[in-house]
A and B are shown apart, each in its own frame.
Chain A
């Protein structure tokens, strides 16, 4: 059975304190891994797609990396506005179009 886990469950950082969020997955063949940001009471906002091990994507203070078993979302010098829940999702080969979402990491960045 496909499984997507994320750690930590919650993370509190001081403004400017860099850290990383982890997304681990077990699928037989990865078609893509996706990172989203979700603010309370809103739908997820697309951040990145990663397709193969070694791939990296960057956007402002965020950098996503992918290995064969996990992905990291690195947050450099975070600001309070980066506070949100970060979700990863995987799509498996031969599993149609469906995403399997992880439980998310709730990030709080304190000023």
Chain B
């Protein structure tokens, strides 16, 4: 397996503010990290793929200027939700993939509530 941490585990912010979520791979260097969001009683939806040292690849319909992803090192990726609105309230989960393997290991998730 692999240990992945996320910080914070939950956050409440006011509409119009920005929030940064950190994802750390604790067991190995992750050249690729993924960001998902999950609405209540729904499955995971991929938002973007984050590659260390290069720009993230966003899925169709995900606003790259709103969801800023920075994969600054082989163990850290950050997701910044800019100018958050109540509809951005969701469960955000990151995952990491070991080089040469296909399975992804997920973090514990971050619950974002925008008021």
Is B42 in contact with chain A by the CB < 8 A criterion?
yes
Given contacts A41-B109, A41-B111, A97-B32, are A46 and B103 in contact (CB under 8 A)? yes
Is A16 in contact with chain B by the CB < 8 A criterion?
no
Is B108 in contact with chain A by the CB < 8 A criterion?
yes
B 50-71 to A, binary, CB cutoff 8 A, 1 in contact else 0: 0000000000000000000000
Nearest CB of chain A from residue B114's CB, rounded to whole Å: 18
Once the chains are docked, how many angstroms separate the CA of A103 from the CA of B32?
24
- Choose among A31, A36, A44, A101 the residue with the greatest number of B CB atoms under 10 Å from its CB: A44
Given contacts A41-B109, A41-B111, A45-B106, are A99 and B42 in contact (CB under 8 A)? no
Once the chains are docked, how many angstroms separate the CA of A109 from the CA of B79?
36
Contact B103 A49 (CB under 8 A): yes
Once the chains are docked, how many angstroms separate the CA of A55 from the CA of B27?
28
Contact B1 A101 (CB under 8 A): no
| Tally of contact residues, A, Cβ under 8 A | 21
Is B28 in contact with chain A by the CB < 8 A criterion?
no
Query: Which one of A41, A42, A44, A49 contacts B44 once the chains associate, using CB atoms below 8 Å?
Result: A44
Is B93 in contact with chain A by the CB < 8 A criterion?
yes
Is A98 in contact with chain B by the CB < 8 A criterion?
yes
Contacts of A97 in B (CB 8 A): 32, 34, 49, 97, 102
Contact A103 B108 (CB under 8 A): no
Is A73 in contact with chain B by the CB < 8 A criterion?
no
29 contacts between A and B (CB under 8 A): A31-B102, A34-B103, A34-B104, A36-B106, A41-B91, A42-B109, A43-B6, A43-B95, A43-B107, A43-B108, A43-B109, A44-B44, A44-B93, A45-B106, A46-B103, A46-B104, A46-B105, A46-B106, A49-B103, A87-B44, A96-B49, A97-B97, A97-B102, A98-B34, A99-B34, A99-B46, A101-B45, A102-B43, A103-B43
Where the two chains meet, the residues of B that have a C-beta atom closer than 8 Å to any C-beta of A are: 1, 4, 6, 32, 34, 42-46, 49, 91, 93, 95, 97, 102-109, 111
Where the two chains meet, the residues of A that have a C-beta atom closer than 8 Å to any C-beta of B are: 31-32, 34, 36, 41-46, 49, 87, 91, 96-99, 101-104
